Every structure is written in structure tokens, then in C-alpha cells.
Structure 1
Amino acid sequence: MNQPLQNLEQLLDRIGGLARNNDQVSIGMVVESIGSRSFGPLLMLIGITLFSPLSGVPGMTIFMASFVLLIAVQMLMGRKQFWLPHYILDRSVGRGKLQKALDWLSKPAQGIDRVLKPRLTFLVNNGGDYGIAALCVVVGLCMPFMELVPFSSSAAGLALLTLGLALVVHDGLLVLLALAIFGATFTLVIVNIQ
């Protein structure tokens, strides 16, 4: 059984190991490697996907929105093991594209991991994680509209990545940062759609 992830570099290393050993890496393979009960790492995975060059794939925002909603709703229901349909688990990306995205993210991940630490833990523990799940439902419902505004899905990805990191390292300050990022993104989308 894999050890729980403690930071962003560990998540990238684990996914990188899959890329080194497989020509195609499916979401199911990644979920299995990080643990299907790990809400934080799954959010980090979604955030990384949306924040990376992979977000340029047509329909990726809507696909990831369904992934966010499925996981967040199950967390709100108190499920211990996340269920995901095969159409999500079977989606895959080639080794080259995945490795390019991981290389692109490695330097920022090292810098981010240096400043993370447990603080304001009441925002991520003892019910705080349900608030994060509720926020993720709102983000997931707004994401289809982000297809209409360039780069807004990348900003939502950054917010989701930040929320996932907050859950992994118990850093409530990151929850506040994610709220600010999502608030700015939501405002940008509303202004540009009107």
C-alpha cells in the first residue's frame, strides 16, 4: 500500500513513475497509485491537469468538472471509498504529453513545497473538509462556463490544486488563498459572459 502523500513533489513523482513504466497513463492508474480515498491528492491531480498544458485539450474543463463533482459530492455524503465511472477511469494520456506536463510543473512544485506547513488547521480539520467539498461542488458547477473565457479553467485548476494541497499538508491559509483565486476567477467569468 502506498504511503499517504505529504506534498506536491511526491504526487508528481508518483505520477512520473507511472509515465516511466507505461506508454499510456489512465486516470484509473493514477487514482490507484494515490489511493481512492484520498480527496486531497485527487483534487491536486485535477488542479494540476487544469493548470498544465493539458487544459488546452478541447472539452477537458467539462470532463474535469464532472470528476470534481463526483468526488466532492461523495465526500459530502461521507463515503470512505470514492466511486468513479469507467468513462473517467479509462481516460488516458500518452507518456510524452504527461512527462511534458510533469516537467513543466516540477520547478514550481519544489518552490511551493518549501513554504507549506500546518497552520489555521481548523479550516481543513473537524468539518473544514466538508466546507472544502462544498466549495468544490460550486467550482465544478461553474467550470462548464469557463470554457467560454480563455485561461479561466487554468485559474480554477490553480484553486483546486491549492485546496488539494491544503488538505494534504493541513494548511488553512491555502484554503483562504483558494477562495480568493476562485472569487477572482468567478468575477472574471461573469464579467466576460455578460
Structure 2
Amino acid sequence: MLRVDLNADQATVRTSEVFRGLTRLGEGETIPLGALTQALGDRAFGLLVLIFALPNIIPMIPGVSTISGVVIAIVGLQMLIGRHDPWLPAFIADRGLPRAETAKMIERAIPWVEKLESLARPRALFMTRGVMRMLIGAMFVMLGVVLALPLSWIGNFPPGVALLIMSVGFLEEDGLLVGAAHILGLLATLLVVVIVGGVIAGAAWLIG
């Protein structure tokens, strides 16, 4: 099984390079999520969030939005409680991503990731470590819950973008990107609350 191990050459291997190798994991027509988690090594938290944020920005895999939100929330919760490597429950780990659609999604997403990488560099490191790492986990949980809601692509896109920026910032140890993503995440959550509130108010008006 391919293992994407970045520990030996952390300084030269960029997120986009690792990303391109993900579709070679496993065999058959699907990419097993359990194998994906094991293969990502120490950077699995950020890469898992990045992978599962993308279907909410580039909706090429039908029905992934809810499961992606659940996975992101689980990953964030484990960061919040201080785990050093992610664990997925069997009912999620045994599932798989369609290989062909995932490969297409990654190819379309690579330019986005590379643009963020061109801006990213190690700075404000305190924003990605220690207590602030736990805060990143809390934001992953909140945005994961938002994505798990039965929203349209319009509702999923803003939190998806916030997760994309935060995961790349976390992976590249760029505290400024992470800080910007916190602001975007809060705004995205507020937007979703307004949308859901409007739907509920509209339904109440129609009923009553």
C-alpha cells in the first residue's frame, strides 16, 4: 500500500505534491478511507480536512457533502482533545471514495491549492501549535457540522472555502492564513444560520 510519508522531507514536499499521489492508494474503483487515513502520516489531520472540504467547493461526487461534514467534525474533535493521529470509526473507514471522480476533483482543485501554497510560508507559528491547534480543531468541528446539514451547494461553498484555506494554512504552518480562515469560517457559519433561519421563518409563515 502506498504511504504518503512526509516526515523524512517535510521542507520540500508540498501539500499539492502529496495530493496528487492520493488516487494511487489501494486497488479497484474506490479509494478506501481507512487506507487513506493510514497513508497520510503525521499530516493526516490537515489533509483529511482538505480532501473532504473539496466536494463542497467542486461538487463532482454526489452525496458526499453530509459524509464529508461528519468526517471533518470527527477529525476536528480529535484535534480538540489532543490526539496526534486521526482515527475513523469502522462505518466510515470501510467506505470508499470513487477513484475516477476523486481524481478529476483533485485535478480541478490542484490550481486552488497551488495558489494558496504560493502565498503560504511558515509564519505566526503560534497560530498552528499548542492551544491554537485545538482552536483549529474546534473550527473544523463547527464547520463540519455545518456541512453535515442538508444544505444546497450554495450553503456548502462558503464553509468549504474556509476549510480549504485553513487546512492549507495548517499544513504549511502559516498562521496568517489560519487566522484569515477563522474569520471566513465564522462569517460562513453566520451566513448558514441566516439561510436556515430564513427557511424556517418562511416555512412557519406558509404553515401558519
Classify the TM-score, shorter chain: 0.7 to 0.9
SS in 1 for 2:97: strand
Cα RMSD between the aligned structures? 2.4
Higher relative contact order (CA 8 A, sep 6+): 1
How far residue 3 of structure 1 moved from its aligned partner, in angstroms, is 1.8
What do the CA deviations read for 1:36-75 (whole angstroms, capped 9, x no partner)?
Answer: 7732222222222332224x623x2221222122222222
TM-score by length of 1: 0.84
Matches of 1:25 and 1:150 in 2, distance apart? 24
TM-score by length of 2: 0.79
Residue 171 in structure 1 maps to residue 174 in structure 2: yes
8 Å CA contact 1:7–1:165 kept in 2: the answer is no
Matches within 5 A, 1:100-179: 100-145=104-149, 147-179=150-182
Matches within 5 A, 1:1-194: 2-4=5-7, 6-18=13-25, 22-35=28-41, 38-54=44-60, 57-58=62-63, 60-145=64-149, 147-193=150-196, 194=198
Percent identity between the two aligned chains: 22
Alignment gaps of 5+ in structure 1 = none
Partner amino acid, structure 2, of 1:138: M
Decide whether aligned partners of structure 1 residues 96 and 37 sit closer, same or farther in structure 2, where only a CA change above 3 A counts.
Answer: closer
What do the CA deviations read for 1:125-163 (whole angstroms, capped 9, x no partner)?
Answer: 232101111122222233333x33432213212212222
Partner amino acid, structure 2, of 1:157: G
Partner amino acid, structure 1, of 2:62: V
8 Å CA contact 1:25–1:92 kept in 2: the answer is yes
Partner amino acid, structure 2, of 1:84: L
Matches of 1:139 and 1:24 in 2, distance apart? 26
Give the count of matched residue pairs: 190
Q: Between Structure 1 and Structure 2, whose CA radius of gyration is higher? A: 2
Matches of 2:110 and 2:79 in 1, distance apart? 29
Partner amino acid, structure 1, of 2:22: I
Decide whether aligned partners of structure 1 residues 166 and 101 sit closer, same or farther in structure 2, where only a CA change above 3 A counts.
Answer: same
Alignment gaps of 5+ in structure 2 = 199-208
